[in-house]
């Protein structure tokens, strides 16, 4: 009897004096310190890295192309995720409690879905852009214009906004699960569950664009490989200046397509575990441990951290722009006209 009382007293709650408070997972100071260090580092890289991409493309006139506008908008989505979503998710994951109230929980969940879904749409539009640049270079300038890029960007924000706000604020995701939600809900929690219909729809919204992107990049890879083989066969030919420019442009487009293909691959690796878990969890009565679920979510978040690192590794123009920004040379007169790569 005394042992049971001691056990009850040792249980830690998110709000000790509140009825129906969530149970708090007890962590040592050392564990919290390590987790906060890792998460804070991830948040800072996400915010700082994507901010550098935004400044680079916005400042340097040479980067004002249809493709880079899409990359800029993608970086904005990742930057906003790092600024407005990750810090609060970090606190929830480390403390295992939500201290910001139910109103902010709903808003936080909504913008979380908005920014993550927007990233996926932008990757789809970037894949379309790369398809025309590599596979139909003669029609690229007419097909993919600045106006078309702005249409893509608008769609890449409007559709995810409608989906995220409509889903969360109509409570369509937990319709039919009201009793379960009532049982699981407690003070200090920020619960997100999907019923079978919306778990399926969420998977469809994820997989259809992904399969489309995989098909597009497979086609790009085939065309790029054939072009490379043709260029290799013509190595002994004397090229005119115009031929050399076209060759350099083609190589640049192919490298951009390869880099953005890696970005897409990283996106799939990061988000696939979470999507698969959402699909399966609803059919096994939501038995996924909270720690595993949080790990899948944060793996998805890490995608926004990786993107600027990929640009820094594969894009010489980004490394040059980064050097100019960090040395404050962008504040020099006419710095926006500096050439970051040879035309």
Q: What is the pLDDT of residues 177-210, one digit of tens each?
A: 888 788 878 889 888 888 888 888 888 888 888 8
Plot region of 285 (φ>0 → left; ψ -120 to 50 → alpha; else → beta): left
All structural domains of the chain = 33-337 (1.20.1070.10)
Q: How far apart are CA 33 and CA 94, in angstroms?
A: 9
- Mean pLDDT calculated for residue range 221-233: 71
- Dihedral in degrees, nearest 10, Cα atoms 101, 105, 107, 108: 120
9-25 per-position pLDDT tens digit: 567 889 888 888 888 88
- Mean pLDDT calculated for residue range 323-335: 92
What was the pLDDT predicted at 311? 80
Segment (H or E) for 224: helix 196-233
3-class secondary structure, 37: helix
Residue 179 burial by Cβ neighbours in a 10 Å radius (0-12, 13-18, 19+): exposed
**Long-range contacts formed by 108-111: CB under 8 A, 24+ apart:** 108/190, 109/168, 109/190, 109/192, 110/164, 110/165, 110/168, 110/169, 111/80, 111/84, 111/85, 111/164
CA distances 14 to 26, 95, 183, 187, Å, are 10, 9, 17, 7
- Mean pLDDT calculated for residue range 228-238: 61
The sign of the CA dihedral 164, 168, 170, 174 is: positive
Highest-pLDDT range among 90-104, 225-239, 242-256, 261-275: 90-104
- Running DSSP on this structure, what letter comes out for residue 327? T
Share the mean pLDDT of the chain.
85
List the structure tokens of 58.
């916005």
Count CB atoms within 10 A of the CB of residue 67: 22
- Mean pLDDT calculated for residue range 93-98: 92
Task: Tell me the whole-structure pTM to 2 decimals.
Answer: 0.88
First-last CA distance in the chain:
81
For tokens 């029609």, what's the residue?
Answer: 139
What was the pLDDT predicted at 100? 92
CA distances 247 to 147, 212, 232, Å, are 26, 28, 12
List the structure tokens of 179.
């009793």
């Amino acid at each position: 009897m005394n042992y049971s009382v001691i056990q009850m007293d040792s249980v830690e709650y998110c709000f000790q004096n509140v009825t129906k408070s969530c149970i708090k997972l007890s962590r040592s100071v050392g564990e919290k310190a390590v987790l906060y260090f890792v998460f804070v580092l991830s948040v800072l890289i996400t915010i700082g890295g994507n901010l550098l991409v935004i400044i680079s493309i916005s400042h340097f006139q040479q980067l004002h192309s249809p493709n880079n506008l899409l990359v800029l908008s993608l970086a904005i989505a990742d930057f906003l995720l790092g600024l407005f979503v990750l810090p609060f998710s970090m606190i929830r994951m480390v403390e295992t409690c939500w201290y910001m109230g139910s109103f902010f929980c709903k808003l936080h969940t909504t913008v979380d879905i908005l920014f993550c879904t927007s990233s996926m749409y932008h990757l789809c539009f970037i894949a379309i852009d790369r398809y025309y640049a590599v596979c139909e270079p003669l029609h690229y300038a007419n097909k993919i214009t600045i106006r078309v890029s702005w249409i893509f960007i608008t769609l890449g924000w409007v559709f995810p906004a409608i989906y995220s706000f409509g889903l969360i604020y109509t409570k369509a995701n937990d319709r039919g699960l009201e009793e379960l939600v009532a049982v699981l809900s407690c003070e200090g929690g920020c619960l997100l569950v999907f019923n079978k219909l919306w778990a399926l729809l969420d998977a469809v919204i994820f997989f259809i664009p992904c399969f489309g992107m995989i098909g597009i990049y497979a086609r790009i890879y085939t065309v790029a490989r054939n072009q490379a083989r043709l260029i290799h066969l013509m190595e002994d030919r004397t090229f005119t200046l115009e031929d050399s420019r076209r060759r350099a442009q083609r190589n640049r487009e192919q490298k951009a397509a390869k880099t953005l293909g890696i970005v897409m691959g990283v996106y799939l690796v990061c988000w696939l575990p979470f999507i698969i878990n959402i699909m399966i969890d609803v059919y096994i009565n939501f038995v996924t441990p909270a720690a595993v679920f949080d790990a899948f979510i944060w793996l998805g978040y890490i995608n926004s951290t990786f993107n600027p690192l990929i640009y820094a590794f594969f894009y010489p123009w980004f490394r040059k722009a980064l050097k100019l920004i960090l040395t404050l040379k962008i504040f020099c007169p006419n710095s926006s006209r500096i050439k970051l790569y040879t035309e």
